[in-house]
């Protein structure tokens, strides 16, 4: 067994499960890494457990496993269904426990949403020192967000579902009904990748320069950024995901600035909105790095592990 504690990390996504192991969030072992396609729960979770069996055989016992999961997922440790996927349109996955197949490794398990984990990673490892409040928003097949407030990710009744807020319609986007099956023209119904394709028949990045699409989507995301700034007062709002690109960020910033109308002291801080609203600094690695942070435990210290939870959980 290695002298250093070895941790496992899982980024459990709708299309793939990324599995990794290493000694710290920035010290993943390149030889202990596997990408498993998300198929049936039985096949996918058996492959995940098989990966960690091989990790234990080759590198020794695991001191913890972190799971950064797609949602909706039960992240309430007091709940009897903690670690289970809740009602999802993904066939076969509703009610499936992501943590039960990991119990055999006998180590603490940390679990949170993929976006909360990404927010944790960006706050701890990418933002300037001392930042303990940050929001991470992903804009892709859906729109999701995670948040760190006071150094902890947030959740309660469920976890943040900030993609489903209402936004004011853009003057040049009055007629598209929106595609959210619950709300029609909520933010996700208007600005997710599928909403963009349904409305304009193209990816956002492929629209011609004179097309209003980038400004319209930037406007909607800027409304979310302004709302987040007002509600959680984050030091940083990070926008990532497949729809995001460099052309979009300036529109998000200007829409947020318009909506806030000078009410918050953003512009008086160094960097202003360019400092507040940014792209991801850990790129596509924020999820797996966040999962490592969940494995290691609260505050990154082994003593953050609560007593009596070995084999179960230690915070989210
Ligand atoms: Zn919705």
CA–centroid distance, 162 to ligand 1, in Å, is 9
CA–centroid distance, 89 to ligand 1, in Å, is 14
255 plus 291 within the same structural domain: no
Tokens of 227: 């709302």
CA–centroid distance, 176 to ligand 1, in Å, is 14
Q: First-to-last CA distance in the chain?
A: 27
Domains: count for the chain: 2
The CA-atom distances, in angstroms, between 274 and each of 147, 151, 167, 262 are 19, 23, 22, 15
201 plus 292 within the same structural domain: no
Average pLDDT, the chain: 92
Of 78, 97, 5, 6, nearest to 316 by C-alpha is: 78
CA–centroid distance, 181 to ligand 1, in Å, is 7
Neighbours of ion ligand 1 (CB under 5 A): 164, 180, 182-183, 186, 188
Please, which contacts does 102-106 make with residues 24 or more away whose CB atoms are closer than 8 Å?
A: 102/48, 102/49, 102/52, 102/65, 102/67, 103/311, 104/49, 105/8, 105/52, 105/56, 105/62, 105/65, 106/310, 106/311
CA–centroid distance, 59 to ligand 1, in Å, is 44
CATH for 89: 3.30.420.40
- Least confident residue range of 3-12, 185-194, 298-307: 298-307
CA–centroid distance, 237 to ligand 1, in Å, is 21
pLDDT at 270: 82
CA–centroid distance, 245 to ligand 1, in Å, is 23
Answer whether residue 212 shows pLDDT above 80: yes
149 plus 249 within the same structural domain: yes
β-pair partners for 84: 97
pLDDT at 298: 61
137 plus 216 within the same structural domain: yes
Q: Give the mean pLDDT of 39-55.
A: 98
294 plus 274 within the same structural domain: no
Asked whether residue 44 is assigned to any structural domain, the reply reads yes
CA–centroid distance, 205 to ligand 1, in Å, is 23
Q: Give the mean pLDDT of 113-134.
A: 94
Containing domain of residue 148, as a range? 128-280
Query: pLDDT-based confidence at 315, cuts 50/70/90?
Result: very low
C-alpha torsion sign, points 303, 305, 309, 311: negative
Distance CA 27, CA 38 (A): 26
258 plus 175 within the same structural domain: yes
Rounded-to-5 percentages of helix, strand, coil across the chain: 35, 20, 40
Q: Give the mean pLDDT of 293-304.
A: 64
Distant-in-sequence, close-in-space partners of 206: CB < 8 Å, separation ≥ 6: none
CA–centroid distance, 187 to ligand 1, in Å, is 7
Query: Are 49 and 101 within 8 A, CB to CB?
Result: yes
CA–centroid distance, 166 to ligand 1, in Å, is 8
Asked whether residue 2 is assigned to any structural domain, the reply reads no
179 plus 276 within the same structural domain: yes
Q: Print the SS3 string covering 172-220.
A: CCCCCCCCECCCECEHHHHHCHHHHHHHHCCCHHHCCCCCCHHHHHHHH
92 plus 158 within the same structural domain: no
CA–centroid distance, 294 to ligand 1, in Å, is 28
Instruction: Provide the percentage of residues in the chain whose pLDDT is more than 70.
Output: 93
CA–centroid distance, 283 to ligand 1, in Å, is 26
95 plus 177 within the same structural domain: no
CA–centroid distance, 284 to ligand 1, in Å, is 25
255 plus 208 within the same structural domain: yes
């Amino acid at each position: 067994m290695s002298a250093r504690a070895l941790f496992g990390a899982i980024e459990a996504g709708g299309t793939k499960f990324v599995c990794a192991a290493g000694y710290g969030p920035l010290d993943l072992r390149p030889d202990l890494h596997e990408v498993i396609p998300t198929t049936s729960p039985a096949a996918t979770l058996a492959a995940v457990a098989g990966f960690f069996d091989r990790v234990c055989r080759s590198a020794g016992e695991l001191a913890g496993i972190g799971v950064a999961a797609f949602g909706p997922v039960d992240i309430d440790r007091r709940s009897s269904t903690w670690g289970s996927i809740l009602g999802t349109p993904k066939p076969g996955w509703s009610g499936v426990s992501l943590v039960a197949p990991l119990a055999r490794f006998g180590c603490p398990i940390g679990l949170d949403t993929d976006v909360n984990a990404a927010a944790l990673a960006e706050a701890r490892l990418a933002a300037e020192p001392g930042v303990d409040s940050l929001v991470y928003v992903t804009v892709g097949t859906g729109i999701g967000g995670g948040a760190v407030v006071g150094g902890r990710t947030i959740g309660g009744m469920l976890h943040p579902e900030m993609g489903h807020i209402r936004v004011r319609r853009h003057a040049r986007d009055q007629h598209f009904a929106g595609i959210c099956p619950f709300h029609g023209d909520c933010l996700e119904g208007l600005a997710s990748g599928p909403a963009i394709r349904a409305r304009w028949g193209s990816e956002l990045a492929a629209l011609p320069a004179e097309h209003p699409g980038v400004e319209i989507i930037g406007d909607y995301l800027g409304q979310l950024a302004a709302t987040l700034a007002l509600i959680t007062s984050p030091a940083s709002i990070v926008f990532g995901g497949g729809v995001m690109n460099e052309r979009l960020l300036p529109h998000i910033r200007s829409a947020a600035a318009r909506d806030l109308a000078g009410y918050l002291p953003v512009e008086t801080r160094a960097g202003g909105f360019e400092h507040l609203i940014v792209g991801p600094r850990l790129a596509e690695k924020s999820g797996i790095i966040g999962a490592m942070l969940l494995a290691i435990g609260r505050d990154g210290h082994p003593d953050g592990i609560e007593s009596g939870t070995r084999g179960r959980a230690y915070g989210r």
